[in-house]
Structure 1
Amino acid sequence: MTRIRLDEMTSDQLDALYTRLANAERELERLTDMAIRYSDRAIENGARAERAEATLADVRALAERWQHTGDRKNGPLTELRAVLDQHGQTPA
């Protein structure tokens, strides 16, 4: 791009410069909004992953308890559903 001295700039050139500036500002706003959306999604995905990890840890602990004890008074399915309910993960 050729640099024009300010005192040599025509009104059309100045208008074109302002148009480019406005376009750049709109693009910056669009990209900023997109970055915010992606950031929010990443946070949501991280929270879901943490809930899934906690649920999995509890299910593994329940399986370990079942392996080493005969405690099945409520039945395995009932206990498993209770663990999943704690984490809002009850299957439909």
Structure 2
Amino acid sequence: MYGNSLMGWNVLAFIVIVVVILLVIGGLVALVLWAVRSSSRPVPGPAFHGADAPKPAASTTLLRELADLRDQGIITPEEFEAKKAEILGRL
């Protein structure tokens, strides 16, 4: 007598559990896809690449010119050091 009525509740509980599991799996798949797509965006790199990168000889010349400007008092020693660090960072 009670066996048949409990059978319906068992089926309903099973269906609810399966639906919840499928929703969780769908959410995880969506999260993984979002992470993969967002990580495939290009990451900004150095300002100079390949042929655009300053050559060591050009950098040496530029540093000499900056040192002359510093020695003449046209730029401050702090400005010289900041520009020097920028130039050396590009190499």
TM-score, structure 2 as length reference: 0.50
Post-superposition offset of 1:42: 0.8
Letter in 1 for 2:45: L
Structure 1 unaligned regions, length at least 5 = 1-7, 71-92
Looking at structure 1, the residues matched to 24 and 53 of structure 2 have their Cα atoms a distance apart, in angstroms, of: 49
- Name the structure 1 match of 2:16: 23
The aligned runs of 1:1-92 (5 Å cut-off) are: 10-48=3-41, 51-52=42-43, 55-57=44-46, 59-61=47-49, 65=54, 68=59
TM-score, structure 1 as length reference: 0.50
Q: Paired residues, what number?
A: 58
Q: Which structure is richer in relative contact order (CA contacts within 8 A, separation 6 or more)?
A: 2
Letter in 2 for 1:65: P
Identity %: 5
Letter in 2 for 1:39: V
CA RMSD of aligned residues (A): 3.0
Structure ID, larger Rg:
2
- Runs of 4+ residues deviating >6 angstroms: none
